[in-house]
Amino acid sequence: VDLEVNYVLDKLKEKEIDMWISYDWENWKLFKDCNMNFNDLNKMAKKFMDKLQEKGYSVMNYSSKYYLENIWTLDTYDTWLAQYNDEATYEKKFNLWQISDQGKVSGINNLVDVDILIKD
């Protein structure tokens, strides 16, 4: 985890940012190859986010509704929900909602994610 935190900090070079730094575990197919269990994964994510918070950054956990409900135990952190529906059905609080990965932006050749910032 220290390697990942240092990588992020090096890329930021102490810049101020307005949004969160997100923890995002994407490769579930490799999960078993890493010889980890879900408890290990949650501890790793917590350590990553805690270390960045200590440096003054806001952090959040990013995941799909299924994984947020069944694997992650990080409810004390802000949440970025990925759920491609017309309406979010995740019942816990979330701060950012990724509604699609099929967005189009003029000047960008690839499809992009579409997110909604949830304000309290």
* CA-closest candidate to residue 45, choices 102, 93, 86, 4: 4
Residue 119 DSSP class: P
Does the structure show a pLDDT above 80 at 47?
yes
Write out pLDDT tens, residues 85-108: 999 999 999 999 999 999 999 999
Q: What is the tens place of the pLDDT at every residue in 3-37? A: 999 999 999 997 889 999 999 998 877 777 888 88
- Percent of all residues in the chain with a pLDDT value above 70, rounded to a whole number: 100
> How far is Cα 9 from Cα 111, in angstroms, rounded to an integer?
28
